[in-house]
Structure formats: structure tokens, C-alpha cells
Structure 1
């Protein structure tokens, strides 16, 4: 199997939920579903850590504003995870240099992370909290479906991931104006809350 499509797909998915990617790939390898998963991802301690962190993300990702804080922290984590997974997959197959695979996985993860973080900033401008839950659930389901699909049809899954990434970039460009309006409103509220110096009444 060509490892390049799987590296790209795992990079895209890592930018959305890196822990889910590590957990899924590790389980596919540990259960014998795929022989292309590196042993490092199948280690029990890796699976346990990925599972715990996945549950933490599943909760934090559905709370307005907490999700944006979580995304900020993972601006470094997700691209590094994408690069790490890509390098491991390349090392397993020997068909692609580790450095090249790491760059592809990391850059793809960074792009999809930027789309996710920017989209969440726009969603957080909505007064109701349900959109966060719906979007987070859709993201997790999408990651699970595409990564699982990539185990059996890597080329087709890579095409799906590329289409989703392009659609996400287009949607983010559309939402940029909404994010800017939200930031301007928040800055205006801060200005209004600042105490105004009272001028003393002149003597009669």
C-alpha cells in the first residue's frame, strides 16, 4: 500500500483530533485489522494515554470558549502529532523518507487545525451552545469515518480529506468577517466598561 495517501489523511485528521487518530490507528494495528500501523502506536501505554486525552478533548471541545482555549493549546500539539504519525507510517513502509512524511503530515495537520480553530471562533459568536456540540460531534465522527476508510481505501480517503480541507478553508474565509465583527463588539464592550473620570462641578 502507498503510504503517502495515509500520511495525508492522518495529517488532516490529526489537525482536528490528534488523540482520536492515534487511538484509532493503534487499535487497528493491535487488533490485526491492518499490518501497516507501526508498533509504537499499538503499545498499551500509548493507547491508554490517547484514550484518556481523547475523552478530555471530547468534553472540552463541546463547551463554548473552552474549545477555543483548548485549540490554542493544541496549535503546537496537533501539527507535531501529524508529523510524528506521518514519520512513523513512512518508517513502517520504507516507501517514503521519514522527514518528507513528517513535513507532509505536520503541514496538513496545521492547515486543518487552523480551519477548525477559526471555525470555532466564529461558532462561539452564536448565543446558543448547541452549535458547539453539533460541530464537535460531527468533527469526531468525520475523523473516525475517514481514518477508518483510509485503512481499506487510502487513495479514496485522501481525496475525501482533501475535499473536506478545501471546503473548510472556503468556509473559514466566509466566516472571517463574522469573527472580525465579534472581536470588534468585544473590544467595544471593554471600552464601555472602563470607568469614566467624573469632572467636578464648578463652584457657584
Structure 2
């Protein structure tokens, strides 16, 4: 079912929209916001994102636009739920979290692009490509900001900071998804601020990590 261009009252009577724009029609702008949000969330908690989206359609009556409906398939829900649990614990162990992030450089970014493009599955190919590029870029920015922060934290010998940081990321993902669904305009504003801060943080953290590794050979002599 194509939700783009439908009257809000008609949409409310037929399906429960994933985005709540209050008095704003569900149109291409809301689909673009959703695509951006999925790109951002893919770089942070990909498996949780896939599981939550699928569960919303299968159990909460939400309608996923475009080609996202496949996420509600029991097989997809089962695999994403299992990987969600694995990531939840792997993300909280020192150094294993960085190895997990390194491996997922090749998973989160293309997945973010694919999910964002799937939002526009009922639209033109040009829109699908554009949203795919946007989603992949946002996924990459979020992923590298996360990976950079973890690399810096792992220079500390105590494990508590890893657990606290991981729980903070869990809370950020949950809060971001709630805001995306219920307050999309607020989410877009927060996303713009996040992108600026992520660029600054990546640059600062990589300089910090580079200094740490440059000092180590000198300390052994």
C-alpha cells in the first residue's frame, strides 16, 4: 500500500502510520525523514532497528512504507532478535566491542543505505537511490563516531566505562527511535546537531588515539 499522498484521515482509518506527524500529511517529506532516521539508527544499533521495525508492523499494527514490510517476516524477526542479543553483550566487553565495530563497518553502512532506499520502494528509482545515499552516509557517520569513541575508551584499563557507554548508546537509540516516530521534526533538528558533533568528535578522537599509539613505541625503549 502506498502511503504517499494519502489524506491523513483516510490513512488513519486504514492503517496506523509509522510516523506521527499530527496535522501534517504523511508525504515524501515524512518518508525522507524516516529514511534519514533509519540511516542514523543503522550505524548505532542495526539489529535492534530491524527487530523493532519488524515488531511494530507484526505486533503493533504499524504500516511500514515501501519495501520495509519484509522486516516483519518471522525469519527476519528471529535472526535480528538473536543478533540483537549477541550485540547487546558483545558491545559491553572491552576490545571485543571495537572488534565488533570493525567487522560491522561492512554491514551497518550498506544496511543503512538499503533500509533508507527501501523506504522509497513505492517511489521512483531516483528517490530510492537518493535516499540510499543519504542513509548510507548517515550510517557511516554514526558508525565511525561510535567506533572512534570506543577506540578511545578502550585505552582505559577499567571495564566500567565500556558498559556505561554501551548503555548510553542503547538509551540514545531508544530515544532517537521514539522521537523519530512521534516527533519527526524534532528528530530532524536533533539529527542535524548530531551530525555536526559527530564530525568534530571523530576528528578529536582519532587524533587522541593516534597520539596514544605513537607514544607506545617510545615507552618500550
The answer to whether the Cα contact below 8 Å between 1:24 and 1:147 also exists between their aligned partners in 2 is no
In the superposition, the TM-score normalised over structure 1's length comes to 0.85
Match of 2:54 in 1: 26
Shifted more, 17-26 versus 169-178: the winner is 169-178
Cα shift at 1:46: 0.7
Determine which structure has more spread, i.e. the larger CA radius of gyration. 1
Cα shift at 1:188: 4.2
Match of 2:75 among 29, 45, 63: 45
Gap regions ≥5 residues in structure 2: 1-25
Matched, 1:176 2:206: yes
Shifted more, 130-139 versus 26-35: the winner is 26-35
Match of 1:136 in 2: 166
The answer to whether the Cα contact below 8 Å between 1:115 and 1:169 also exists between their aligned partners in 2 is yes
Match of 1:151 in 2: 181
CA RMSD across the alignment? 1.9
- For 1:77 and 1:181, the matched residues in 2 are separated by 29
Matches within 5 A, 1:58-137: 58-92=88-122, 94=123, 97-137=127-167
The answer to whether the Cα contact below 8 Å between 1:20 and 1:144 also exists between their aligned partners in 2 is no
The answer to whether the Cα contact below 8 Å between 2:42 and 2:112 also exists between their aligned partners in 1 is yes
Matched, 1:3 2:31: yes
Gap regions ≥5 residues in structure 1: 193-204
* Matched positions, count: 190
